[in-house]
Chain A
Amino acid sequence: MSDRSQLISTGKPFQYDQQRDAEFERLIKRYPTRESMILPALWLIQEQEGWISQEAIAYVADRIGTFASKVYEAVTFYTMYQLQPMGKNHICVCRTLSCWLRGKQEIVDYLKNEIGITPGKVSDDGRFSLEEVECLGHCGTAPVVQVNGEFYENMDVDKLKALLATLK
């Protein structure tokens, strides 16, 4: 898993934008405890900023009224929360079982060798970042790649090349 303790500080306090603020208020009514909002609140941050900073975590803890350590626990436990800025197009390649059996390695190798993207790093032009993730639940159409929330199934290197060309 590797250590996710290191949080990045922006040096500025965090604030929800108007849309997320309203969504926070709407969602919190649907749970009997405020702490149930920890995961949804973190998702709102990620939707707004693309990643979650130290200040954002403190903001969520204080707004919900819980310990910062509890939010810190959740944000490091759940690996979908990005703790550093990602590329404009974050490419998730499934690496488990069926995708592994049907050729995910070629896709990863292509991204590493031809495009120069390695897991955890952002490409020089800021367009791409890469993450190998666990089973995405599309085993029947393996290998599968997820970019910006969209699933791209039955992938191979050619289809990948075509996809990358469309991503700004």
Chain B
Amino acid sequence: MEVKLLSAKFDIKNSHKLKTAKKHGAYGTLDKIFAMKPEDVIEEVKKSGLRGRGGAGFPAGVKWGFLPKNTGKPVYLAVNSDESEPATFKDRYILVKDPHMLIEGIIICSYAIGSHDAYIYIRGEYTTQVKALQAAIDEAYAAGYLGEKVAEHDYRVDVTVHRGAGAYVCGEETALLESIEGKKGQPRSKPPFPAVAGLYGCPTIINNVQSIASLPWIIENGADAYKAYGTEKSPGTHLFGISGHVEKPGMYELPLGLPLLEVVEKVAGGVWKGRKLKGIIPGGSSTPVLLPEEAKSVTLDYESMAAHKTMFGSGGIVVLDETVDIVQLVKNLIDFYHHESCGQCTPCREGLGWMLKIIKKIVRGDGSIDDVKLLRELCDNIEMKTVCVLSAACTMPVRSYLDKFRHEFEAYVNKNASSAVQANQE
């Protein structure tokens, strides 16, 4: 089931070094790119149907097409390497194992959108990864792939790595821009959209690392070849991360559209220790949970996920076995989102703190059924009333746990602690 488009070089020794990367085709698309017109590059990417791999799934080529022409302002490219969504651990492989693929993708995108300055926003915790990335960038500059004349073509591309410092919210595109500008990562209201007024008020394209890193393969092999993988509306491949209670957790590149349960079984070895499946989080902690019955008909693409009232997200699959205490799990999630709230707008800032206190009260054994109902109501009261979707990233999954596992919450408040499941939690 696994394929190797993006991960083609991951298992090659020293794949991160320029010499090895070049032997296996790195920077091979540059001459082709610079012979094309920028609009044609955008068209090719549009044709490929590549959807943003950060979680939103917006078609990349379409996003590039939103850039206004002839504003007189510089165009910027921001590469989102914040990767902080729990259960997501794919982009760092690119940074460590094939950074030159990313750099090549940056050059392709920069040329297509008319940008000369790219900023890679990398989360602060990725210390080893940022070293590997910077080393590759230095190699690229030395070899003339970055700088005033990319590969001797009359086009400048400069890349600067900007480190974050511990804020999940900076994965949100406008918060990321704020952070590059030196401010707190507090998202901006949209409109205006970054394509119109982004970094330093200039037209800006922001794409996830994996999206950008997908570009060399698409240009090399063509949009049609890319569409041969995946489904019609969700073409291509994705670096799926499978974690939690499975035998073989890890990162696996797969075409989109495969059945979820089959992937868990055949690729990740199924639920560990011979236990039974309790639920699956399909695309990162922000996605509503799927019950085993529901998961049976789910395929790993945007449309199937939406039809099952959840989301493809970042493709971070988490498997929950029968021992998981859902109430404790929800506390763990709310704790995360509350900790990461930027504090800008009222419903998220105050509401998530309130939700955390309520769930802690329930876990302590002091909760009532009214607390459970209030927690459920707060999901509705907060969601979509905020500047950004961090609040929804909390309320959407929490709502799904409250709805699908209500009996576990009721067990806590009925003080039937023995009927609440024992698990390896605090």
Contacts and interface: CB of A to CB of B under 8 A. Distances in A.
Contact of B163 (A40, A96, A106): A40
B128 A150 contact: yes
B52 interface: no
Given A80-B165, A98-B244, A135 B86 contact: yes
A51 B343 CA distance: 24
A42 interface: yes
Given A142-B243, A150-B128, A134 B84 contact: yes
Contacts of B424: 103, 105-106
Interface in B278-292: 281, 285
Contacts of A141: 249-250
B169 to A, nearest CB: 9
A96 B98 CA distance: 27
A102 interface: yes
Given A140-B241, A141-B249, A133 B184 contact: no
A42 B165 contact: yes
B182 A70 contact: yes
Range for the number of chain B residues in contact with chain A: 35 or more
B184 A139 contact: no
Given A35-B182, A101-B245, A139 B88 contact: yes
Contacts of B127: 146, 149-150
B229 interface: no
A146 to B, nearest CB: 7
A92 B127 CA distance: 13
Given A133-B125, A136-B125, A149-B127, A74 B426 contact: no
Given A36-B180, A138-B89, A139-B249, A98 B243 contact: yes
A39 interface: yes
Interface stretch (A16-24, A26-34, A118-126, A160-168): A26-34
B183 A33 contact: no
Nearest to A42: B165
A43 interface: yes
A77 B339 CA distance: 11
A8 interface: no
Interface string A128-160: 000001111111111000100111000000000
Interface stretch (B1-9, B139-147, B316-324): B316-324
B250 to A, nearest CB: 4
Contact of B167 (A35, A77, A96): A77
A149 B123 CA distance: 13
A105 B339 contact: no
A39 B185 CA distance: 11
A100 to B, nearest CB: 5
B26 to A, nearest CB: 24
A90 to B, nearest CB: 12
Interface residues of A, number: 47
Given A43-B165, A133-B125, A135-B84, A96 B184 contact: no
Given A96-B86, A140-B249, A30 B158 contact: yes
Contacts, number: 156
B264 interface: no
A139 B182 contact: no
Contacts of B200: 32-33
Contacts of B333: 97
A37 interface: yes
Contacts of A39: 162-165, 179, 182
Contact of B125 (A36, A80, A139): A80
Contacts of B398: none
Contact of A97 (B86, B182, B184, B339): B86
Q: Which of A81, A92, A136 has the most CB of B within 10 A?
A: A136
A137 B127 CA distance: 12
A32 to B, nearest CB: 6
A139 B316 contact: yes
A79 interface: yes
Contacts of A32: 200
Contact of B162 (A40, A42, A81, A138): A40
Nearest to B83: A137
Contacts of B244: 97-98, 101-102, 139
Contacts of B185: 77-78
A110 B300 CA distance: 39
B346 interface: no
Contacts of B242: 140
A139 B124 contact: no
B339 A78 contact: no
Given A77-B167, A137-B88, A101 B336 contact: no
A120 to B, nearest CB: 15
The list of the 4 closest CB pairs from A to B, nearest first, reads A78-B165, A80-B166, A149-B127, A38-B182
Given A31-B180, A80-B124, A141-B249, 20 more contacts: A33-B181, A36-B180, A36-B182, A39-B163, A70-B182, A73-B184, A78-B165, A92-B125, A96-B285, A96-B332, A97-B281, A97-B318, A98-B244, A102-B245, A136-B125, A137-B84, A137-B126, A139-B89, A140-B250, A140-B251
